[in-house]
Amino acid sequence: MDIMEILRGRLIVSCQAAETSPLHATEHIVALARAVVLGGAQGVRIEGVRNVQTVRSAINLPIIGITKIAQSGSDVYITPSLEDVRSLAAAGADIIAFDATDRPRPVPVADIVLEIARLGKISMADISTLDEARQAIAAGADFVGTTLSGYTPYTVGAPAPDFALMRSLAEAGIPFVAEGRIWEPSQARRALELGAAFVVVGSAITRPDEIAKRFADAIADGQR
């Protein structure tokens, strides 16, 4: 099964819930995953080893697996260690995503990539700049995601979504996935037009608290 071809040009939905959310429980994440598949998602991005393992038993589509673990002395927290990589692979993730930003980190990007490859999985490097993307590909990553644009100190204020970064990646011939701050279907289509292999959408689909807030704020603004 060529996972990248299965996903090409399609929608992948990130099914995650903040710790403060009523949806922060494995059974709810599984329900979200099943629901978005019914809606046409061709794969899901799942946080947490237990969540990945449970979703794996519930759907037969590609899973992008990550962990989110705070690290002392580092802002890198998306799949930061080799043990995280091994646990996600054992849980059934097809693609393992990790933070590949240019910040102090517990494990070098090259070591993360090598471990993912050793386990027979596909590596997705979450980046925030073109230079980070180049470094990740040079280290052996299979592709990059624009996931962290706007979330590193040096990209705060970047456009949302960051179409300029996508355009630069395409011009540089770097295989990439569009992810991060995509709120409208038209933005997802534009990302594909710019050369994204596929599009990952999260909050706009799976975070009802944020969706409700957008509506509530818009209504309140209209009444002022």
Instruction: Determine if the peptide bond prior to 161 is cis (ω within 30°).
Output: yes
Kindly report, residue by residue over 197-223, the tens digit of the pLDDT.
999 999 999 999 999 999 999 999 888
Confidence tier at 1 by pLDDT (50, 70, 90): low
Domain that holds residue 49: 3-222
- DSSP class of residue 63? E
DSSP per residue over 5-51, as a string? HHHTT-EEEEE---TTSTT-SHHHHHHHHHHHHHTT-SEEEEESHHH
Rounded to 5 degrees, φ, ψ at 95 are -120, 135
Residue whose pair of structure tokens reads 């996600």 in the numeric block: 88
Instruction: Report the number of distinct structural domains present in the chain.
Output: 1
* pLDDT band per the 50, 70, 90 thresholds, residue 146: very high
Q: Which residue has the tokens 């240019």?
A: 102
- CATH number of the domain bearing residue 39: 3.20.20.70
- pLDDT tens across 61-77, in order? 999 999 999 988 899 99
Per-residue pLDDT of 22-49, as tens digits, reads 999 999 999 999 999 999 999 999 999 9
